[in-house]
Amino acid sequence: MTTLHSQQHEQLDVLVEKDIITHEVARRALAVLRVVFGLTFLWAFVDKLFALGYHTGVNDQTGVTDRFGPDAWINGGSPTYGFLKYGVSTDNPFQGFFGSFAGAGWADWLFMAGLLGIGMALTLGIGMRVAALGGGLLYMLMWMASLPMQNNPVIDDHVLGLVAVIVLAATLAGDTWGLGKRWAQTSLVRRFPILR
């Protein structure tokens, strides 16, 4: 690192959030955004795991909620089947692609592992780069599954989520109110900076 960087952080020879975002209020705002996104991923994981009725476990025809019922992943329900089979529009150019693996065991496991891993990384502020890659990929796939858009020809909440997780990783937003700075000092992260 540069001499200036070394002078700023005599005992810390890694790039930290304060080097990028110099205003404390901005760092705190990014930390809040990071935690909110992390909890969103974690909530989706928990709802699909237990069918708590925040979409998973709700009968579309009757509106009745069956918490901890057969839609729960722990009871053999598929977290990917409903959306990929029935949620992807017939006008979507990727309908066949998504329908081909709707409910597949490997897809369920990857999806749930992604929700949990991305949610934990964002909430704790560690592994932000990996979370941005995984979260960005998940948001891109969900955007593709949502085509054609109803309110805007290109941009929807999935695009905003994709941009947000990249910004959070690029600004090292895991350092404020998170474990990012300590995580950056570990020998594992020093050896493999992608894990930052």
Give the rounded percent of residues in the chain with a pLDDT score beyond 70. 94
Per-residue pLDDT averaged across 137-145, rounded? Answer: 97
In the block, which residue shows the tokens 């329908």?
99
**Dihedral (Cα; 173, 139, 114, 108), 10-degree rounding:** 170
Band of residue 10 on the pLDDT scale cut at 50, 70, 90: low
Per-residue pLDDT averaged across 56-85, rounded? Answer: 91
User: Can you spell out the DSSP letters for 69-102?
Assistant: STTSGGGT--TTHHIIIIIS-TT-TTHHHHHHTT
Smallest Cα–Cα separation from 66: which of 109, 75, 81, 156?
A: 75
Q: Which residues of 16-41 are buried (b: 16+ CB within 10 A; e: fewer)?
A: bbbbebeeeeebeebbebbbebbebb
Over residues 81-134, the pLDDT tens digits come to: 999 998 999 999 999 999 999 999 999 999 999 999 999 999 999 999 999 999
pLDDT at 27 over 50: yes
Over residues 167-180, the pLDDT tens digits come to: 999 999 999 999 99
Q: What is the mean pLDDT of the chain?
A: 92
pLDDT at 9 over 80: no
Q: What's the pTM?
A: 0.88
User: Which residues contact residue 104 at a Cβ distance below 8 angstroms, ignoring those fewer than 6 apart?
Assistant: 80
